[in-house]
């Protein structure tokens, strides 16, 4: 990988604008956001993100025109201490430009969608002042993500890594004082904290990996690390790669740290689509792909990564089957699909992993945003039905009134049991959702088929038998839970009056979805077998091999997907769910379904094994050790007692008067005498002061000259 | 060109005149003008040295000249504040004799 330091051709000088365009957008909205109207705020934010996209396109073109060589664009010095040379340098190569395109492209579409979504969201939740704040956070996220993917060293990557974590926290807790039902509660801020803390655990692993790296290689810069790693001890590489995997499990929601992602659905839906499906959570996959030379040197680590991904893929897919919240299904599906990607990059199939990352960004963003459209449609329907019933003609009800309403009639617009029959009321959303579902289920010719199949084929060819079967079964479950969702949401009869009165979303919401739908259909063309466009493109940066197309693998996975969809029709489609009726699988599977609905009790397990003992230990430390032992016994008894005893013995009348009193009085006397003498100097005449100054200067200058 | 010593001597003379003015005169305005004289003596030294360095090295640096601009700007600010003070003092004391201003009481 030749690295040309000097840049003469192409648009590489634009690289800093990847970060600064969104930063300028967020500053404008931060300062003037309150004076702009909603359209203005949304336009500024979308243009800022769009500018980043244009820069990404130009950078991609420049890399392609330059023969695919990596280019470093130095921007600023950051930390120079001894061996530590940290600079803010932009690394523009085929891998980072791919990520840039995905992040800014999907990000811009979601910005546009969010103009429409947040308009209604702030209205339903009753605080229009939050509209600009949302877009400030969104632009901040784009900027942080750009720092992450364009960083030239592990530390710059870590800066972005933490930045996106912060944005994730801010946006999950966007409605921090109320939950998804728009009633006062701390559920959302708790979800935000959970995401942040879980990510911190992963970041700790990342940091340890970075420290080991610096300790051994004296550098964080990618190329230097990779060059040094070839001569390093295998144990060192293994430690680095495994600690890095801890970071990946946090950020990319893999076992055992995935628990934050389902709760993160508390954030507004564009956030779920942008951060918790399409871009941020794929940072872990990007990290492993970026560290490909390290992982290639540690086959054991590769195997562990692949197994982690594959087990997560299957585990999360089974949970998704038992969920009722439309966004929770998609959240577990995201975890599962991230498992596919992590398994792929773990097997060394970096292209397949990146390919799935790209197509997943398209169709999962499409699914989430369509789900948001469904939720809004239901909220409109609920509003409408409420009006019809109570005869309230007022358009925006006051906040207190609304929260009272919410208490009286708890209606969850995310709950699929409240939906049904939406294909008639929301036809556009239905078709878009359908495209996303088929892409996710992996049916040809949709994008998801090509990328998922490449992962499966690689697992098959490389001899990862366990991974291959885990992923194939996960793919079966994927098709099943998506079929279940389609039947429950869009077919059958409305199970709630809100669903009956649901209305289609406006164009600002549906048009970005249509673009994503087109990408979800044709995205597979990026790397179809035989052409391998993406493989050739990424070959410039990481060592890859073209995946072979295996007919048997493709037939098995497609066949299983069709069987799963048929099965979901038998269970959910043939006799649609009635209002109040329990899930059909509940009757057939019994406790297994209950366990899936309760996420296999993983959260409860974490509480029992880690969090509650942790609380007990901190209780013990605070109560017994800190308070009773240190405060009551050590400070009160030992120190205070000893002090009292010493003062009784040592400070009798003689020592007190002759020693301490005399010293204090003497000090006062000296001060009095000194001030009486010095007072004469301050006579109040300006000219005598000036003379003093002059004499002082003459003395100092004289000393300096004659020294 | 004029030898640097001449400039230095002139600058020293100006500075001494200024310093003596500050010490000897009692009129606040005259003291003020003397301070300006001292500042400009320093300015003269700055430009003289800057020019000498330019001639010696054959390179233009402009450090000295830039410093002079700073001094001028600061002096202007000082004049603004100082004159305002003098006007206020005159309003309360009907005099600008600095020796009259020996107590902190208004």
- Both structure tokens of B50: 């800057």
DSSP letter for B58, please. Answer: S
Report the distance separating Cα A279 and Cα A168, nearest Å: 11
Distance CA(A89)–CA(A150), nearest Å, equals 8
A616/A620 Cα distance (integer angstroms): 6
Structural domains in chain B plus CATH codes: 4-96 (1.10.287.3510)
CA dihedral (A229, A230, A233, A235) positive or negative: positive
Whole-number pLDDT of residue A404: 44
Shortest alpha-carbon distance between residue B12 and chain A (Å):
13
Burial zone of A380 (CB within 10 Å; 0-12 exposed, 13-18 middle, 19+ buried): buried
Q: A307-333: per-residue pLDDT in tens? A: 999 999 999 999 999 999 999 999 999
Out of B19, B98, B104, whose CB is closest to A686?
B98
Confidence of residue B72 (pLDDT cuts 50, 70, 90): very high
Cα within 13 Å of Cα(A365), Cβ side? 39
User: Is residue A153 left, alpha or beta, with left meaning phi > 0 and alpha meaning psi from -120 to 50?
Assistant: beta
DSSP reduced 3-state for A85:
strand
- pLDDT single digits (tens) A62-97: 998 888 888 899 998 888 888 888 899 999 999 999
E strand or H helix at A79, and its extent? strand A70-81
**Alpha-carbon distance A701 to nearest alpha carbon in chain B (angstroms):** 14
H and E: helices and strands count for chain B: 3, 0
Contact A412, A180 (CB under 8 A): yes
Please indicate if any CB of chain B lies within 8 Å of the CB of A681.
no
**Distance (Å, whole) CA A472 – CA A561:** 9
Return the SS3 of A630.
helix
> Does A389 score more than 60 pLDDT?
no
Q: Which residues of A touch B19 (CB under 8 A)?
A: 694
- Provide the CB-side half-sphere exposure for B79 (13 A, CA): 13
CB atoms within 10 A of CB A234: 11
CA atoms of A474 and A314, how far apart (whole Å): 4
- The span from the CA of A75 to the CA of A98, in Å, is 21
Backbone dihedral angles phi then psi of residue A77, each to the nearest 5 degrees: -80, 145
Residue A402 has pLDDT above 60, yes or no: no
Chain B residues in contact with A683 by the CB 8 A cut-off are 102
Answer whether A687 sits within 8 Å of B98, measured CB to CB.
Answer: yes
* Cβ pair B101:A694 closer than 8 A: no
Q: Give me the pLDDT at residue A8, please.
A: 57
pTM: 0.77
Spatial distance between the Cα atoms of A464 and A456, rounded to a whole number of angstroms: 10
- Cβ distance B22 to A687 less than 8 Å, yes or no, reads yes
Q: Please answer whether residues A292 and A136 qualify as being in contact, where contact means their C-beta atoms are separated by less than 8 angstroms.
A: no
Residue A406 has pLDDT above 80, yes or no: no
Q: Mean pLDDT, to the nearest integer, of A244-266?
A: 93
Average pLDDT over residues A469-489: 93
Query: B100: distance to nearest CA of chain A, Å?
Result: 8
For A631, what's the count of Cα atoms within 13 Å in the CB-facing half-sphere?
8
| Maximum mean pLDDT: which of A173-182, A587-596, B16-25 | B16-25
B102: nearest CB among A685, A690, A691 = A685
Whether A393 shows a pLDDT value over 50: the answer reads no
Looking at residue A1, its pLDDT comes to 39
Of B22, B101, B103, the CB nearest to A690: B22
Tokens of B98: 């600095």
d(CA A622, CA A630): 10
Confidence band, pLDDT 50/70/90 cuts, at residue A362: very high
How many helical (H) and strand (E) elements, i.e. helices and strands, does chain A have? 32, 3
pLDDT at A392: 42
Enumerate the β-bridge partners of residue A153: A221
Are B19 and A694 an interchain contact pair (Cβ–Cβ within 8 Å)?
A: yes
| Torsion over CA: B81, B87, B90, B96 (sign) | positive
Across the interface, whether the CB atoms of B23 and A684 are under 8 A apart is answered: no
pLDDT at A655 over 80: no
Residue among A372, A392, A410, A381 nearest A500 (CA): A381
Chain B residues touching residue A691 (CB < 8 angstroms) = 23
Question: A391 falls in which pLDDT band (50, 70, 90)?
Answer: very low
In this structure, are residues A195 and A264 in contact, taking their beta carbons and an 8 Å threshold?
yes
- Of residues A481, A190, A165, A205, the one with CA closest to residue A335: A481
Tens of pLDDT along B13-66? 999 999 999 989 888 899 999 999 999 999 999 999 998 888 888 888 888 999
Chain A residue closest in CA terms to B100:
A685
- Distance in angstroms (rounded) separating the CA atoms of residues A229 and A223: 10
Distance (Å) of CA A581 to CA A414, A486, A587, A679, B88? 18, 18, 11, 95, 89
Asked if the C-beta of A682 comes within 8 angstroms of chain B's C-beta atoms, the answer is: no
B contact set with A (CB within 8 A)? 19, 22-24, 26, 31, 98-99, 101-104
Indicate the range of A52-56, A359-363, A578-582 predicted with least confidence. A578-582
- What letters, b where the CB count within 10 A reaches 16 and e where it falls short, cover A432-465? bbbbbbbbbbbbeebbbbbbbbbbbbbbbbbebe
Q: pLDDT of A541-553, one tens digit each? A: 887 776 778 888 8
Confidence of residue B104 (pLDDT cuts 50, 70, 90): low
**Contact B23/A691, CB-based, under 8 Å?**
yes
Mean pLDDT of all residues in A22-49:
92
Residue A243 pLDDT greater than 70, yes or no = yes
What residues in A contact B101, CB-CB < 8 Å? 684, 686
Distance from CA of B103 to the nearest CA of A (A): 6
Give me the total of CB pairs closer than 8 Å, taking one residue from chain A and one from chain B: 23
Instruction: List chain B residues with CB under 8 Å of A685.
Output: 98-99, 102
- Residue in A680, A683, A687 to test binding to B, most B beta-carbons within 10 Å: A687
What are A97-124's pLDDT values in tens digits?
999 999 999 999 999 999 999 998 888 8
Angle of CA points B38, B43, B49, to nearest 5°: 130
> Looking at chain B, which residue has its C-alpha nearest residue A683?
B102
Task: Report helix, strand or coil for A77.
Answer: strand
* Residue A184 bridge partners (DSSP): A178
Please name the residues in contact with A584: beta carbons below 8 A apart, sequence gap of 6 or more: A571, A572, A575, A577
Identify the CA nearest to A238 among candidates A281, A280, A298. A298
Cα A557 from Cα A479, distance rounded (Å)? 10
> Which has the higher per-residue pLDDT, A661 or A350?
A350
Omega cis (within 30) before A101: no
* pLDDT tens-digit series, residues A204-234: 999 999 999 999 999 999 999 999 998 889 9
| Residue A495 and residue A418 in contact, taking contact as beta carbons nearer than 8 Å | yes
The pLDDT, as a whole number, for residue A412 is 85
Q: Beta A3-4 vs A70-81: how paired, if at all?
A: parallel
Please answer yes or no on whether B101 and A684 come within 8 Å at the CB atom: yes
Distance CA A544, CA A293 (A): 11
For residue A394, the model assigns a pLDDT of 43
Structure tokens at A133: 């704040």
Judged against a pLDDT cut of 60, whether residue B77 lies above it is answered with yes
Q: What is the pLDDT of residue A470?
A: 94
Q: What is the pLDDT of residue A600?
A: 87
SS3 A253: coil
C-beta of residue B17 within 8 angstroms of C-beta of residue B37: yes
Cis peptide before A445 (omega within 30 of 0): yes
Q: What is the mean pLDDT of residues A684-694?
A: 85
Residue A600 structure tokens: 């296999």
Nearest by Cα to A195 from A257, A127, A237, A255: A257
Strand partners, A79: A86
Task: Give the residue ranges of DSSP H helices in A66-186.
Answer: 94-125, 130-150, 154-172
Chain B: residue nearest A689 by CA?
B23
**From edge to edge, which strands make up the β-sheet containing A3-4?**
A3-4, A70-81, A84-92
Has residue A9 got a pLDDT over 80? no
For residues A371 and A327, is the Cβ–Cβ distance under 8 A?
Answer: yes
C-alpha to C-alpha distance for A311 and A486, rounded to whole angstroms: 26
pLDDT greater than 50 at residue A403? no
Average pLDDT, chain A: 88
Give the Cβ contact number of residue A271 at 10 Å.
29
**Percent of chain A with pLDDT strictly greater than 70:** 95
Residues of A in contact with B31 (CB under 8 A): 686
Closest CA to A570 of A489, A483, A442: A483
Residue A655 is given by DSSP the state I
Residue with tokens 């004082």: A177
Report whether A206 contacts A247 (CB < 8 A).
yes
Report which of A208, A218, A217, A215 is spatially closest to residue A240, judged by C-alpha positions: A208
């Amino acid at each position: 990988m030749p690295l040309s330091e000097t840049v003469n051709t192409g648009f590489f000088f634009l690289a800093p604008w990847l970060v600064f365009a969104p930063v300028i957008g967020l500053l404008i909205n931060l300062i003037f956001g309150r004076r702009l109207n909603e359209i203005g705020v949304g336009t500024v934010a979308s243009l800022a993100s769009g500018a980043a996209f244009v820069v990404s396109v130009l950078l991609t073109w420049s890399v392609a025109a330059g023969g695919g060589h990596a280019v470093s664009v130095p921007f600023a010095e950051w930390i120079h201490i001894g061996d530590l040379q940290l600079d803010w340098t932009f690394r523009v190569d085929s891998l980072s430009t791919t990520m840039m395109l995905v992040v800014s492209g999907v990000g811009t579409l979601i910005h546009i969608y969010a103009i429409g979504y947040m308009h209604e969201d702030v209205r339903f939740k009753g605080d229009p002042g939050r509209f600009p704040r949302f877009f400030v956070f969104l632009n901040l996220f784009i900027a942080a993500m750009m720092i992450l993917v364009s960083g030239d060293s592990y530390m710059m990557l870590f800066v972005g890594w933490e930045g996106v974590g912060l944005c994730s926290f801010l946006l999950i807790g966007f409605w921090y004082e109320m939950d998804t039902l728009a009633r006062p509660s701390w559920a959302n801020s708790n979800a935000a904290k959970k995401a942040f803390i879980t990510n911190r655990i992963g970041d700790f692993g990342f940091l340890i990996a970075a420290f080991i790296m610096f300790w051994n290689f004296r550098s964080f810069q990618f190329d230097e690390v990779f060059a040094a790693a070839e001569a390093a001890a295998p144990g060192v590489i293994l430690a680095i790669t495994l600690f890095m995997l801890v970071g990946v499990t946090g950020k990319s929601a893999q076992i055992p740290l995935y628990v934050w992602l389902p709760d993160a659905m508390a954030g507004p839906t564009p956030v779920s689509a942008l951060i918790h499906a399409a871009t941020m959570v794929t940072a872990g996959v990007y990290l492993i792909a970026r560290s490909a030379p390290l992982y290639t040197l540690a086959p054991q680590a590769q195997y562990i990564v692949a197994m982690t991904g594959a087990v997560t893929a299957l585990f999360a897919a089974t949970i998704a089957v038992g969920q009722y919240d439309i966004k929770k299904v998609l959240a577990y599906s995201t975890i599962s699909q991230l498992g596919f990607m992590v398994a792929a990059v773990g097997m060394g199939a970096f292209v397949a992993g990146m390919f799935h990352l790209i197509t997943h960004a398209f169709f999962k963003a499409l699914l989430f945003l369509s789900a948001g459209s469904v939720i809004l449609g239901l909220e409109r329907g609920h509003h409408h039905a409420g009006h019809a019933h109570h005869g309230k003609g007022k358009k925006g009800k006051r906040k207190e009134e609304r929260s009272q309403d919410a208490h009286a009639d708890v209606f969850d617009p995310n709950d699929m049991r409240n939906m049904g029959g939406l294909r008639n009321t929301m036809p556009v959303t239905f078709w878009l959702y359908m495209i996303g579902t088929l892409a996710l289920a992996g049916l040809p010719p949709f994008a998801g088929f090509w990328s998922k199949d490449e992962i499966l084929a690689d697992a098959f060819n490389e001899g990862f038998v366990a991974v291959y079967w885990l992923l194939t079964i996960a793919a079966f479950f994927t098709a099943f839970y998506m079929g279940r969702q389609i039947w429950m949401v869009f077919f059958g009869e409305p199970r709630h009056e809100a669903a009956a009165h649901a209305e289609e979303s406006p164009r600002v919401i549906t048009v970005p979805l249509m673009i994503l739908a087109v990408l979800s259909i044709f995205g597979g063309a990026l790397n179809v077998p035989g052409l391998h466009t993406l493989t050739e493109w990424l070959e410039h940066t990481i060592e890859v091999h073209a995946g072979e197309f295996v007919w048997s693998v493709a037939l098995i996975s497609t066949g299983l997907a069709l069987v799963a969809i048929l099965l979901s029709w038998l269970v959910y489609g043939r006799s649609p769910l009635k209002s109040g009726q329990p899930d059909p699988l509940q009757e057939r599977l019994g406790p297994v379904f209950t366990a899936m609905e309760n996420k296999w009790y993983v959260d409860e397990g974490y509480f029992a094994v880690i969090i509650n003992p942790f609380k007990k230990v901190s209780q013990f430390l605070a109560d017994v050790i800190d308070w009773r032992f240190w405060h009551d016994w050590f400070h009160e008894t030992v120190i205070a007692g000893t002090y009292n005893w010493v003062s009784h013995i040592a400070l009798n009348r003689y020592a007190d008067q002759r020693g301490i009193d005399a010293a204090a009085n003497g000090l006062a006397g000296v001060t009095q005498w000194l001030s009486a003498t010095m007072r004469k100097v301050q006579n109040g005449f300006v000219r005598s002061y000036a003379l003093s100054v002059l004499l002082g200067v003459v003395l100092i200058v004289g000393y300096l000259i004659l020294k | 060109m004029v030898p640097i010593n001449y400039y230095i001597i002139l600058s020293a003379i100006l500075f001494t005149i200024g310093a003596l003015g500050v010490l000897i005169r009692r009129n606040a305005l005259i003291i003020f003008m003397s301070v300006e004289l001292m500042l400009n003596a320093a300015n003269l030294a700055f430009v003289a040295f800057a020019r000498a360095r330019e001639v010696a090295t054959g390179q233009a640096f402009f450090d000295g000249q830039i410093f002079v601009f700073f001094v001028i700007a600061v002096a202007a600010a000082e004049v603004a504040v100082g004159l305002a003070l003098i006007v206020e003092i005159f309003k309360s004391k009907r005099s600008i004799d600095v020796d009259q201003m020996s107590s902190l009481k208004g």
